[in-house]
Amino acid sequence: MILERAERIEMKLNEIIRIKRKEQNLTQEEAAKRLGVSASAFNKWEKGNACPDIAVLPALARLLKTDLNTLFSFREELTEQEIGLFCEELSSIIKQDGFEKGYAVAMEKLQEYPDCGPLIGMTASTLDGALFMFAPASRESYSEQLEQLYERAALCDDMATRDFANYMLAARCMQHGDYDRAEELLDQLTDKPAVDKNHMKANLFVKLGRLDEAAQILERKLMAAASDVQSALLALMTLALNENDMETAGYLAEVSQKSSRLLESWEYNSYVAAFELAAAKKDGDTCMEMLTGMADALKKPWLFSQSRLYRHVPQKIPQNKSDLSEILPGLLASIKSDEDMEFLKNRTDFDSLLEQHPLT
């Protein structure tokens, strides 16, 4: 048992050394030289083929600007609930005190739990979303730091976290035009299992008379499927636009709107495809009609638990207007900076929308 624990610590140690060295922008050769060891020895540490001598550890910790507890990851793992609560607190801090303060709090937490992959992934996602909502002007300056966090999360043992991190890294690669790397990352994602465990579990709960639990499982599946349908339709419409097939693009936008309403999805989704189609056509009137609908949808919460399709899915009903309204400034900022949306920028109704939701 002690040997197994030692092997786990050794594995974690080499990962932490590699991550911390990169955070300090040091090459293996530079780090080795400062510690007075050979580059080959340092390379073995990072590969996990050897451990640093105990006499070197204090100097190694100082070089990497960390401590021995962090190096050996002598911390308990956080539960999913603890991570969720921290990310909620982090969002509140950013909203009240600004992104810079929230980022500092996040880095302090990650220093305390440097090897907790789910925490790293959720923190990166929370910071990413907060940048879009509260500080869109700062997105570029924090891009590299967020990418490093996703890279750290992609190294963890938790499959869901690893898949999410690689997915986010692939999306960033596509934005930067690095399509080969994006394909490589996407190929690392795990495929969905051939059998549907949740569907069978729902059937089991029906047999056991646990009807609420069975309904909740099935309603969550329907909600996820509805989201997948919208994503696929939007992607197909974009493909049709790239093929200059406006007739098919229009049909797909119409199907997207109808299916969103039929499956009682978030109202915002029913406007997105039509907005993208109108933008491609440079149709300012339709663009503003859809954009106004999107803005209105963001101002109110999606009360899915009041739908007969999702009535068993628990939901905490917000007391005030939807926090999703915070997304609006970021959305408008991206439109304002998009050269392809130039046709909207001199419209009085677009200016009015900007005045109602000033860019941060």
pLDDT in tens, 223-237: 999 999 999 999 999
Q: What is the DSSP string of 194-224?
A: SS-HHHHHHHHHHHTT-HHHHHHHHHHHHHH
Q: Which CATH class is domain 80-187?
A: mainly alpha
d(C-alpha 54, C-alpha 181), whole Å: 38
Q: Strand, helix or coil at 288?
A: helix
Give 88-135 pLDDT, tens digit per residue: 999 989 988 989 999 999 999 998 888 889 999 999 999 998 888 777
Task: Please give the share of the chain, as a percent, with pLDDT higher than 90.
Answer: 45
Helix (H) or strand (E) holding 299: none
Say which range, 34-43, 64-73, 100-109, has the weakest mean pLDDT.
64-73
Stated pTM of the model = 0.63
pLDDT at 107: 94
For 337, other C-beta atoms within 10 Å of its C-beta total 11
Q: Which of 49, 48, 58, 55 is nearest to 16 (CA)?
A: 48
User: Which part of the chain has CATH 1.10.260.40?
Assistant: 2-72
Right CATH for 2-72 from 3.30.413.10, 1.10.260.40, 3.40.50.620, 1.10.600.10: 1.10.260.40
User: Which part of the chain has CATH 1.25.40?
Assistant: 80-187
Nearest 10 degrees: Cα torsion 74, 79, 84, 89: -40
Give 287-323 pLDDT, tens digit per residue: 999 999 998 888 888 889 999 999 999 987 654 444 5
